[in-house]
Amino acid sequence: MSALAHEPAAQAAAPVGVSPAGAVDIAVVQFAPGADTVANLTALRAEVRAASELGAKVVIAPEYSMYAVTRLDERVVKAAEPLTGPFVNGLRGIAAEFGVHLVAGVVEAPGGDQPADRIYNTLVAATPNAEFAAVYRKVHLYDAFGFQESELVLPGPLDPPQTFTVDGVVFGMQTCFDLRFPEGIRRIADAGAHVLVLPAQWIPGPGKVDQWTTLLRARAIENTMYVAASDQAAPRGSGASMIIAPSGAVLAELGDQPGIATARVDLDQLREVRATNPSLALRRFGIREE
């Protein structure tokens, strides 16, 4: 496991190595996207390249990797693209170029009968074959702490959990503010996920990093699953990207500057945790779908 600052010498470190069966090396990349979508794609490619050189087979980038500002306004609508647009095509190409599964947050133009002045806050998971592994549209919008994401963003549909599988390891996706709603993440655990993938733009503020780390570890502990959380770097994000074990132990973490954190997801270890603490099996309440 490792957590690297953005220094060329550190990024050139030796690969993690070949994963045993039922194990996958993953990375969360923390960078600072801005309002230039082409520059963001170029920066993300460099991050994915560095992560792949460290041995990662799944690379997780932040929410709004495509386009990021401190406070959303009408510019985000102009920047939006369909999932067939150049940014997502670029993501798929990067995944293929470096032979990884890549998850990143994009600004999706909804099309169809949806309002033309709104967007979806969407996660795209791309495969090493440049295909779509999964697509998730953020359900819980950030109408809190003085922000009103719903003014420009449509809530995603309450579809079944979006998951994808890499070498037998199942990954499920949620976004940023979704972290505060444990029932949504419990649905992902119920769908068989071993890892929660959580890209974010966790807006800085008093106590926000404490809340972030507490909630991430709680979601790992209560669902006995790995959590891989990729936040934006300062100044628009709080940083503190991390990978957490099913026991709640932090395997790798970053500060608030750009960097890469890596760790190995191991299903044998997950099974050991679930055997010791079978909290999912001992539940007496389920999740009711609306």
3-state DSSP of the chain: CEEEECCHHHHCCCCCCCCCCCEEEEEEEECCCCCCHHHHHHHHHHHHHHHHHCCCCEEECCCCCCCCCCCCCCHHHHHCECCCCHHHHHHHHHHHHHCCEEEEEEEECCCCCCCCCCEEEEEEEECCCCCEEEEEECCCCCCCCCCCHHHCEECCCCCCCCEEEECCEEEEECCHHHHHCHHHHHHHHHCCCCEEEEEECCCCCCCHHHHHHHHHHHHHHHHCCEEEEEECCCCCCCCCCEEECCCCCEEEECCCCCEEEEEEEEHHHHHHHHHHCCCCCCCCCCCCCC
Per-residue pLDDT at 147: 95
Name the stretches of the chain with pLDDT < 50.
5-16
Alpha-carbon distances, residue 123 vs 29, 94, 176 (angstroms) = 15, 15, 11
Type of residue numbered 166: V
Our answer to whether residue 149 is catalytic in this structure is no
Residue 57 makes CB contacts below 8 A (sequence gap 6+) with 19, 24, 25, 26, 99, 100, 101, 166, 167
Per-residue pLDDT at 64: 98
Of 47, 57, 108, 176, which one is the catalytic site residue?
176
Contact assessment for residue 11 and residue 261, using Cβ atoms and an 8 Å cutoff: no
Per-residue pLDDT at 9: 29
Per-residue pLDDT at 8: 30
- Note the pLDDT tens digit of each residue in 156-176: 999 999 999 999 999 999 999
Our answer to whether residue 63 is catalytic in this structure is yes
pTM exceeds 0.75 for this model: yes
Of 47, 57, 63, 81, which one is the catalytic site residue?
63
Per-residue pLDDT at 14: 30
Our answer to whether residue 176 is catalytic in this structure is yes
Distance CA 134, CA 162 (A): 6
Residue 251 makes CB contacts below 8 A (sequence gap 6+) with 1, 242, 243, 244, 245, 263
Per-residue pLDDT at 3: 61
Return the number of other C-beta atoms located less than 10 Å from residue 23's C-beta: 18
Residue whose tokens read 């957590």? 3
Sheet holding 242-244, edge to edge: 163-166, 169-173, 195-200, 226-231, 242-244, 250-253
Per-residue pLDDT at 2: 54
Of 81, 138, 149, 253, which one is the catalytic site residue?
138
Pick the CATH number of 22-276 from 3.60.110.10, 3.40.50.10240, 3.40.50.300, 3.40.50.720: 3.60.110.10
